[in-house]
């Protein structure tokens, strides 16, 4: 082959175009021109919109996992917050329910204390307040234990009242507590006065017919007693001041074969639910002592010398 026919051009691998510096200058100038033109004449706005439209589907697909992951984390965070809020709401509801349950007992206790203070203002006998601790352990008696005793000046035989009437009488006194026998106890008796008729009688505790009842014993069958009559203390026993409410007549049984009527009464005091009570001093110290039967009495006639 003749030498003149050989291709003396370099292969494509060794071909060299413009230098890198030239390319940098050209493209920098082009970029600067495009930026200035886009700023002043908005030349690249249509191109930018077209590129954004073309790239949007790909961008949407790429962002789906990111948005899904973000929603999952947001769901769990909101679920945890909802559970915390629900727990706080349940605790608050429990506290409010506990407070609501305490409102009615406190209101009732407040009303009873106010009535007890009003009753104390009408009684001239010295008294002091006390609180019922618990009922007596003896199932065959009707007794309660107070939180006051000898150290507080409580003495045996003291009458005990609540806001409604006579509750009982102090029968045993200890240094810090005292025992009160209720008016419904079978060993308890209290002289009473019928407010309507003025007749005196004695009310005994009657646990046989009703655990919270009293009975007027030794009343004649024709005695003037009616259902609904109110009985108060007569004051003749030297223990209870006169005029304290005791009971109300509930039932009267008059039988031909017996000379006495069966008269059952219900106590006015809260023998089952008393909490705050008032302890009075016995009035026995105010009653003159009985005359000595051994001392002979001399009668002085009018107009005669002694």
Q: Is the pLDDT of residue 235 over 70?
A: yes
Same domain, 195 and 217: yes
Q: Looking at residues 89-114, what average pLDDT do you find?
A: 72
Same domain, 95 and 163: no
Model confidence at 302, pLDDT cuts 50, 70, 90, reads very low
- Boundary residue ending a domain (104, 122, 140): 122
- Boundary residue ending a domain (122, 139, 170): 122
Residue 277, domain extent = 127-286
Q: What is the pLDDT of residue 114?
A: 65
Q: What is the pLDDT of residue 195?
A: 92
- The per-residue pLDDT for range 4-13, each reduced to its tens digit, is 565 566 555 5
Of 183, 164, 174, the C-alpha closest to 275 is 164
Same domain, 90 and 131: no
Q: Is the pLDDT of residue 36 over 80?
A: yes
* Lowest-confidence segment of 33-37, 141-145, 205-209 by average pLDDT: 205-209
Q: Looking at residues 117-123, what average pLDDT do you find?
A: 63
Rama region for 257: left / alpha / beta (φ>0; ψ in -120 to 50; rest): alpha
Q: What is the pLDDT of residue 278?
A: 87
Tell me how far apart the alpha carbons of residues 122 and 113 are, in angstroms, rounded to a whole number.
Answer: 15
Tell me how far apart the alpha carbons of residues 260 and 123 are, in angstroms, rounded to a whole number.
Answer: 35
Q: Which of 49-53, 183-187, 302-306 has the highest average model confidence (pLDDT)?
A: 183-187
Question: Looking at per-residue confidence, does 112 or 209 come out higher?
Answer: 112
Tell me how far apart the alpha carbons of residues 145 and 274 are, in angstroms, rounded to a whole number.
Answer: 11
The total domain count for the chain is 2
Same domain, 171 and 42: no
Q: What is the pLDDT of residue 304?
A: 42
235 CB burial (10 A radius; 0-12, 13-18, 19+): middle
Is residue 306, in this structure, part of any structural domain at all?
Answer: no
Q: Which residue has the tokens 């009075």?
A: 280
Q: Is the pLDDT of residue 303 over 60?
A: no
Same domain, 98 and 51: yes
- The per-residue pLDDT for range 47-58, each reduced to its tens digit, is 778 888 888 888
User: Partners of 292 in the beta sheet?
Assistant: none
Model confidence at 273, pLDDT cuts 50, 70, 90, reads confident
Which CATH number characterizes residue 145's domain?
Answer: 2.40.10.340
Same domain, 142 and 114: no
Same domain, 51 and 103: yes
Tell me how far apart the alpha carbons of residues 62 and 99 are, in angstroms, rounded to a whole number.
Answer: 57
DSSP symbol at 10: P
Same domain, 198 and 60: no
Model confidence at 305, pLDDT cuts 50, 70, 90, reads very low
Is residue 3, in this structure, part of any structural domain at all?
Answer: no
Q: Looking at residues 86-104, what average pLDDT do you find?
A: 78
């Amino acid at each position: 082959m003749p030498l003149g026919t050989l291709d003396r051009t370099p292969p494509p691998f060794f071909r060299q175009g413009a230098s890198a510096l030239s390319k940098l200058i050209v493209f920098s100038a082009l970029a600067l021109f495009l930026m200035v033109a886009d700023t002043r004449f908005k030349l690249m706005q249509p191109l930018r919109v077209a590129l954004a439209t073309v790239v949007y589907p790909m961008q949407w697909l790429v962002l789906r996992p990111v948005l899904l992951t973000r929603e999952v984390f947001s769901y769990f965070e909101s679920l945890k917050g909802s559970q915390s809020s629900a727990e706080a709401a349940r605790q608050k509801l429990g506290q409010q329910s506990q407070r609501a349950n305490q409102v009615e007992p406190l209101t009732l206790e407040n009303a009873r204390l106010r009535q007890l203070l009003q009753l104390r203002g009408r009684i001239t006998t010295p008294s002091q307040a006390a609180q019922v601790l618990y009922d007596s352990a003896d199932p065959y008696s009707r007794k309660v234990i107070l939180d006051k005793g000898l150290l507080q000046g409580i003495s045996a035989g003291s009458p005990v009242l609540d806001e409604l009437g006579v509750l009982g009488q102090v029968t045993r006194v200890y240094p810090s507590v005292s025992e009160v026998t209720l008016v419904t106890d079978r060993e308890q008796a209290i002289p009473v006065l019928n407010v309507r008729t003025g007749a005196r009688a004695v009310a005994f505790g009657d646990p046989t017919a009703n655990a919270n009842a009293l009975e007027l014993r030794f009343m004649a069958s024709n005695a003037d007693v009616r259902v609904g009559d109110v009985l108060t203390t007569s004051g003749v026993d030297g223990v209870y001041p006169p005029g304290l409410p005791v009971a109300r007549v509930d039932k009267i049984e008059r039988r031909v074969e017996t000379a006495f009527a069966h008269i059952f009464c219900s106590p006015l005091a809260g023998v089952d639910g008393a909490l705050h009570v008032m302890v009075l001093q016995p009035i026995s110290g105010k009653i003159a002592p009985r005359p000595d039967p051994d001392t002979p009495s001399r009668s002085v006639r009018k107009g005669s010398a002694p």
